[in-house]
């Protein structure tokens, strides 16, 4: 199979979806989605985004436009676009992510997060950043998340949905009021498939 048949650029809908969270902080022309594994042991339901490109596991290859998928799949796409954003802003996602995944498989959850007053997005682990941006997307659509939309907007410096969101302006803001409003969640993030 030629690479033209196994990879594609982002669709206009996917660009619009990502832009709703990342504004112009990503060069969308550089992103390709590959309908193949990045590594042979990649799980069928996983996307790996180590180098600014997405590699789809076998069960996800039928998605030809993530913006036309259900909201949970769109949120999954936003999580992965966070890794694109990280890569394009100088993070070695492959090396740093590999270390985080090793710790995750050893039982140390790399996805669970707690929004902390004054802690900027970039101070969180890579997978936590992905889940925070995923949850920002979901919260702005009124979906259940560990914190309300205002907490995510304050944390990322993002204005309300429907306006440009510039996450490069990551002001360390006081989230104490937003965090205090959510007793019992302990700020834990659980993947929508039930994993932590």
Query: pLDDT of the chain along its 196 residues, tens only?
Result: 445 578 999 999 999 999 999 989 999 999 999 999 999 999 999 999 999 999 999 999 999 999 999 999 999 999 999 999 999 999 999 988 788 878 777 777 888 999 987 888 999 999 999 999 999 999 999 999 999 988 988 887 665 544 434 443 332 232 333 333 333 333 333 333 333 3
C-alpha separations of 31 from 1, 14, 34, 88, 98 in Å: 20, 11, 10, 10, 21
Distance, in Å, from the CA atom of 55 to the CA atom of 32, rounded to the nearest integer, reads 9
Domain extent listing, the chain: 3-180
Find, among 167, 103, 117, 108, the residue nearest to 147 by Cα.
117
Distance, in Å, from the CA atom of 138 to the CA atom of 99, rounded to the nearest integer, reads 28
Q: What is the pLDDT of residue 110?
A: 83
Q: What is the pLDDT of residue 103?
A: 75
Q: Quote the pTM value.
A: 0.79
β-sheet with 47-48: strand ranges across: 7-9, 32-34, 54-56, 47-48
Q: What are phi and psi of 173, to 5 degrees?
A: -110, 160
Task: Reply yes or no on whether 188 is catalytic.
Answer: no
Q: Which one of the listed residues 80, 116, 127, 188 is annotated catalytic? A: 80
Distance, in Å, from the CA atom of 76 to the CA atom of 130, rounded to the nearest integer, reads 9
């Amino acid at each position: 199979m030629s690479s033209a048949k196994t990879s594609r650029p982002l669709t206009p809908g996917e660009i619009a979806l990502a832009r709703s969270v990342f504004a112009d902080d990503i060069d969308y022309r550089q992103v390709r989605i590959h309908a193949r594994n990045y590594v042979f042991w990649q799980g069928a339901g996983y996307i790996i985004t180590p180098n600014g490109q997405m590699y789809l596991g076998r069960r996800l290859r039928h998605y030809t436009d993530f913006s036309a998928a259900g909201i949970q799949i769109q949120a999954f796409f936003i999580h992965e676009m966070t890794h694109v954003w990280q890569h394009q802003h100088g993070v070695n996602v492959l090396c740093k992510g590999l270390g985080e995944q090793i710790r995750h498989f050893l039982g140390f959850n790399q996805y669970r997060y707690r929004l902390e007053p004054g802690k900027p997005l970039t101070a969180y682990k890579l997978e936590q950043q992905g889940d925070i941006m995923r949850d920002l997307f979901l919260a702005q659509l009124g979906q259940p998340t560990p914190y309300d939309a205002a907490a995510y907007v304050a944390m990322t410096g993002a204005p309300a949905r429907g306006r440009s969101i510039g996450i490069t302006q990551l002001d360390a803001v006081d989230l104490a009021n937003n965090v205090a409003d959510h007793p019992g969640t302990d700020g834990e993030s659980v993947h929508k498939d039930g994993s932590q």
